[in-house]
């Protein structure tokens, strides 16, 4: 069994633990490049790039594509669309 890749049950348990912690302490920082995880467990997000604040908002005000654009930058997105 490969322990480096959590199975779905383990991921769901992790999400439950994160939500419980967040409810107990009112605020929790979750840092990840895995956007599905961010969209699943976070209420708010902040994108930093090169040490600068790019965007900070609630998850309910954005979607995954917008989050990718904030992370990668409009210039990079246009480059890959060519």
Place of tokens 């490049």: 33
Is the pLDDT higher at 44 or at 79? 44
Structure tokens at 22: 């967040």
> C-alpha angle with apex 51: 48 to 52, nearest 5 degrees?
60
**Average predicted confidence (pLDDT) for the chain:** 83
Domain residues of the chain, as ranges?
Answer: 8-81
Question: Rounded CA gap, 40 and 59, in Å?
Answer: 9
Tens of pLDDT along 11-51?
888 888 988 888 888 778 888 888 888 898 889 999 998 89
Question: Which residues are CB-neighbours of 36 under 8 A, at least 6 positions away?
Answer: 64
CB 38 within 8 A of CB 30: yes
Confidence of residue 79 (pLDDT cuts 50, 70, 90): low
Residue 1 pLDDT: 45
Residue 4 has pLDDT above 60, yes or no: no
């Amino acid at each position: 069994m490969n322990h480096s890749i959590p199975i779905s049950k383990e991921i769901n348990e992790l999400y439950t633990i994160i939500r419980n912690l967040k409810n107990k302490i009112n605020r929790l920082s979750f840092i990840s490049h895995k956007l599905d995880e961010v969209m699943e467990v976070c209420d708010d997000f902040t994108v930093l790039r090169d040490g600068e604040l790019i965007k900070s908002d609630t998850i309910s005000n954005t979607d995954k594509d917008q989050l990718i654009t904030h992370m990668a930058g409009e210039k990079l997105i246009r480059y890959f669309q060519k």
